[in-house]
């Protein structure tokens, strides 16, 4: 009985301590998810809207030129719109633009998403990594979720002009031969409080 009481006491203390400390972390986590979600949505909506317009205007070649000229600078311009301490980017292990290659723990996290998917686990909407005190990374996994992605990330060897243009701009391109529902990469929003 004595033992049981002390165990109860220890766990009570532990839970009080835990309840104290994570409160702040919990609010930071909640904020990270909110900021991460809204920033990722802004990027997806902006890229998607522009891509659709170019596809409708001049087909895949026009949209490709838009992506290679604008996707990266556009991401940078969204960065300027985000609140101070927040930045956004897209990453992929099989990237097209080497500037989108994963850094630090990012590659491991992308691999984890991929392993989950290989086990038939539905991917989570997001993951949050604490990278330092008051610094978090919000990850939103991206899949090939639309047939249109395959025009530029599928078997592009069948479209000679497009393939040539891609190789010209991105000699190190790895972002092709994807299939529907393949894991493609992630949007990463870094937030410093
Ligand atoms: C018209 C061609 C085109 C289409 C369609 C397209 N992309 Fe891309 N994608 C590109 C180009 C070009 C880049 C490199 C942009 C840059 O320089 O940052 C890219 C980059 C990316 C990246 C960043 C990582 C990397 O490989 O550099 C992701 C993630 C991505 N695309 C996902 C998608 C998804 C998901 C779809 C479908 C919803 C899609 N793309 C449709 C051309 C396209």
Q: How confident is the model at residue 1 (pLDDT cuts 50, 70, 90)?
A: very low
Return the domain boundaries, the chain: 26-192
Mean pLDDT of the residues in the chain = 89
Mutate to test the pocket of ligand 1, among 49, 58, 114, 149 (most ligand atoms within 8 A of CB): 149
* Residue 44 Cβ contacting ligand 1 at under 6 Å: no
Residue 144 near ligand 1, beta carbon < 6 Å? yes
Number of Cβ within 10 Å of residue 111's Cβ equals 13
Taking alpha carbons only, the member of 152, 121, 153, 127 closest to residue 141 is: 127
CB of 54 within 6 A of ligand 1: the answer is: no
What is the 189 CA–ligand 1 centroid distance (Å)? 18
- For residue 2, pLDDT beyond 80: no
> CA 171, 64, 76: angle at the middle one, nearest 5?
85
Q: How confident is the model over 19-35, as a mean pLDDT?
A: 82
Q: Is 100 in the pocket of ligand 1 (CB under 6 A)?
A: yes
Q: Which of 48, 91, 97, 144 to mutate to test the pocket of ligand 1 (most atoms within 8 A of CB)?
A: 97
Query: What is the per-residue pLDDT for 17?
Result: 42
Q: How far is CA 193 from CA 22, 66, 68, 133, in A?
A: 15, 34, 33, 9
Q: Which residues pair with 136 in a beta bridge?
A: 130, 191
Q: What is the pLDDT of residues 176-187, one digit of tens each?
A: 999 999 999 999
Query: Taking Cα atoms as reference points, which of 104, 92, 101 lies closest to residue 129?
Result: 104
For residues 88-99, average pLDDT: 97
- Among the listed residues 48, 41, 43, the one whose alpha carbon sits nearest the alpha carbon of residue 63: 48
pLDDT in tens, 95-147: 999 999 999 999 999 999 999 999 999 999 999 999 999 999 999 999 999 99
């Amino acid at each position: 009985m004595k033992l049981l009481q002390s165990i109860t006491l220890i766990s009570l203390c532990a839970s009080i301590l835990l309840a104290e400390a994570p409160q702040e972390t919990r609010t930071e986590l909640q904020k990270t998810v909110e900021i991460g979600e809204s920033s990722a949505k802004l990027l997806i909506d902006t890229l998607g809207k522009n891509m659709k317009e170019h596809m409708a205007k001049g087909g895949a070649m026009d949209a490709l030129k838009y992506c290679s000229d604008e996707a990266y600078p556009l991401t940078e311009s969204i960065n300027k719109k985000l609140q101070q301490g927040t930045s956004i980017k897209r990453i992929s292990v099989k990237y097209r633009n080497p500037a989108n290659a994963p850094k630090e723990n990012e590659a491991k996290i992308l691999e984890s998403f991929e392993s989950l998917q290989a086990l038939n686990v539905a991917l989570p909407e997001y993951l949050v990594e604490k990278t330092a005190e008051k610094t978090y990374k919000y990850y939103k996994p991206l899949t090939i979720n639309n047939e249109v992605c395959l025009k530029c990330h599928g078997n592009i060897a069948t479209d000679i002009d497009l393939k040539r243009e891609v190789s010209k701009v991105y000699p190190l391109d790895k972002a092709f031969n994807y299939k529907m529902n393949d894991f493609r990469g992630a949007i990463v929003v870094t937030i410093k409080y």
